[in-house]
Amino acid sequence: MNKKKIIIILIVAIILLLTVCFGCIAFFEKEKTGNIQQLDNEVTPEQDEEVKIVDLDSKTRPYAVMINNLYEARQVQSGLSNAYLVYELLAEGGITRFLALFRDVEVERIGSVRSARHYYLDYVLENDAIFVHWGWSPQAQSDIGSLRIQNIHGLTYEGVYFYRENPFGIAVEHTGFTNTDLLDKARTNLNYPKDTDDGLLLDYSAQSIDLSAYGDTQDASSVKVFYSNYNEVEYEYDEDNKVYKRFINNQKHTDYNTGKQLNVKNIIVYDLDYVGIAGDTKGRQELYNIGQGTGYYITEGKAIKMTWEKAKRSSKTIYRFENGKELIVNDGNTFIQIIPTNGNLEIN
């Protein structure tokens, strides 16, 4: 066989070999792509679930409403079951008031709405909320102006965005209410921005959180939060529904709108210094909440130690597990109980 024929045979062999190789590559690439597409189309239950307490894609600003918690007014206390976040702080005389946050919900009745105290404004600011109140202390009046708090005031808008309702013949100061439809109209007419880029205070998990992954835990089937001789809060864990039933002074804490006892998914508790304002004849308080400290996060029958940190009045309070990771809470409503340093917390 001459050299010319050998060269031709080699060229043909090389061409056949390359054809086979390219075919193999194309086959495996197709198989690989097909597998990737198959994996992309598989949706696990975890991926399919979404947080329900808030819409994580929404940018709607919340309303932060001062809600009465005197015994006389508690029988008409309305709307707390619809709030995604509720702060409970001391006012004066051992009483507490709630700052309840509502976002992207329709609530038929909220209240009774009461007057502002200046340190509640720190929690309005950290949520970039529109503040709803009926009256104010001198300190709150001053700070609402200087801090440019966008507010809707019952003293100004009674009969417009607020109304009176008195089914049980209680004192008139406990009979002021509003609802989300009226608040939406107020926001529009007052030209307050509807949306915010500020983000939520807390991170939520659609999946039940294993607190033991973040540190040592303890059982928490019963939680008692003592503010004063006037106000003691108790939570009893409902294992079937994985929520806490709320009580005040050994009485079921109910929502007048529903007639049902309040259920709470997450509880955050820590103590701060409340100090009487010098010369204030009404016994009003100052709250020292700038700095850092420790507390507890309680959910689904377990409690774990956590830390808190607040850099300034307008900044968000940052909550972390003791290992330094930022706090994640279970999907559901949260009560933040800020008790005085002479208060008490019992977890059993």
Return the domain boundaries, the chain.
Answer: 63-347
Q: Is the pLDDT of residue 31 over 80?
A: no
**pLDDT in the model for residue 49:** 79
Per-residue model confidence as pLDDT tens digits over 78-109: 999 999 999 999 999 999 999 999 999 999 99
Q: Region 142-152: what's the mean pLDDT?
A: 98
Q: Is the pLDDT of residue 336 over 70?
A: yes
**Alpha-carbon distances, residue 74 vs 164, 165, 252, 259 (angstroms):** 15, 14, 11, 12
Q: Region 302-317: what's the mean pLDDT?
A: 98
The owner of tokens 């039933």 is 245
By the 10 Å C-beta count (0-12 exposed, 13-18 middle, 19+ buried), 124 is classed as buried
Helix, strand or coil, per DSSP, at residue 179: coil
Q: What is the dihedral of CA 287, 288, 292, 293, to 10 degrees?
A: -60
By the 10 Å C-beta count (0-12 exposed, 13-18 middle, 19+ buried), 286 is classed as middle
Q: Which of 9-18, 150-159, 215-224 is the least confident region?
A: 9-18
Q: What percent of the chain has pLDDT over 70?
A: 86
**Alpha-carbon distances, residue 318 vs 64, 278, 322 (angstroms):** 19, 30, 12
What is the pTM for the complete model shown?
0.86
CATH match of 63-347 with 1.25.40.10: no
The alpha helices in 109-204, defined as continuous H runs, are 121-125, 138-146, 154-157, 180-189
When comparing pLDDT for 35 and 218, which is higher?
A: 218
Q: Region 164-188: what's the mean pLDDT?
A: 97
Q: Is the pLDDT of residue 9 over 70?
A: no
The owner of tokens 């062999």 is 13
Sheet strands side by side (includes 163-164): 110-111, 176-178, 163-164
**pLDDT in the model for residue 281:** 92
Q: Region 151-160: what's the mean pLDDT?
A: 98
pLDDT band at 30 (very low <50, low <70, confident <90, very high): very low
* Cβ neighbours of 347 (radius 10 Å): 18
